[in-house]
C-alpha cells in the first residue's frame, strides 16, 4: 500500500465482513475519482458476459486500465458498487475480492433499479496516485 494510507479499524463499529476496510485514511496526496464502470469489453463495446461475476471482473479491469493510463503508481482506496439485485452480492463479492488485498478499500454496495445497457453491476472508485 502507498505511503500515507493507513487502515482504520475500531471495535466501536461493525467489523468488515468482506474484502473491504472500515475506513482508509489518506494523508495529503493526489486522488483520482474514477467514474462508474459497467462491465463493457472495450474491444467489442458489449457487456463482457451475462453473469455478475463476469461483469464485476470487467468493471474492475476497466477501472485498472483507466488508472494505469496515468502512468503512475496507484492504490484504490474507496469503491461504490451498484447492483441490480442484492441476491447477486455473493458472486459479485467473490469476483471483487480477486482484485484487492489487505487493507481492502473502503466500500459501499447499494441496490439500484437499472443500470446502463442492462448491466448487472457498476463500480466507481477513488484512488491515490503517486509520482
**Which residues sit opposite 32 in a β-bridge?**
127
Domains of the chain by residue range? 5-130
- State yes or no: is 113 an active-site residue: no
pTM for the full predicted model = 0.84
Backbone angles phi, psi at 102, to 5 degrees: -60, 145
Single out the catalytic residue among 109, 120, 125, 127: 109
CATH node for 5-130: 3.30.1330.40
Geometric angle at alpha carbon 90, from 12 and 125, rounded to 5°: 70
CB 51 within 8 A of CB 83: no
109-130 pLDDT, tens digit each: 999 999 999 999 999 999 888 7
State the average pLDDT over residues 2-25.
67
Mean pLDDT in residue range 19-37: 75
Chain position carrying cell 459501499: 108
Amino acid at each position: 500500500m502507498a505511503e500515507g494510507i493507513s487502515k482504520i479499524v475500531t471495535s466501536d463499529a461493525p467489523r468488515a465482513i468482506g474484502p473491504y476496510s472500515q475506513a482508509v485514511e489518506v494523508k495529503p496526496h493526489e486522488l483520482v475519482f474514477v467514474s462508474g464502470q459497467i462491465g463493457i469489453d472495450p474491444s467489442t463495446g458489449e457487456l463482457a458476459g451475462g453473469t455478475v461475476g463476469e461483469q464485476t471482473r470487467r468493471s474492475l479491469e476497466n477501472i485498472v486500465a483507466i488508472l494505469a493510463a496515468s502512468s503512475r503508481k496507484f492504490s484504490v482506496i474507496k469503491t461504490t458498487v451498484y447492483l441490480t439485485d442484492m441476491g447477486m452480492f455473493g458472486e459479485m463479492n467473490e469476483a471483487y475480492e480477486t482484485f484487492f488485498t489487505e487493507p481492502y478499500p473502503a466500500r459501499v454496495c447499494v441496490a439500484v433499479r437499472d443500470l446502463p445497457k442492462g448491466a448487472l453491476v457498476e463500480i466507481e472508485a477513488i484512488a491515490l496516485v503517486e509520482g
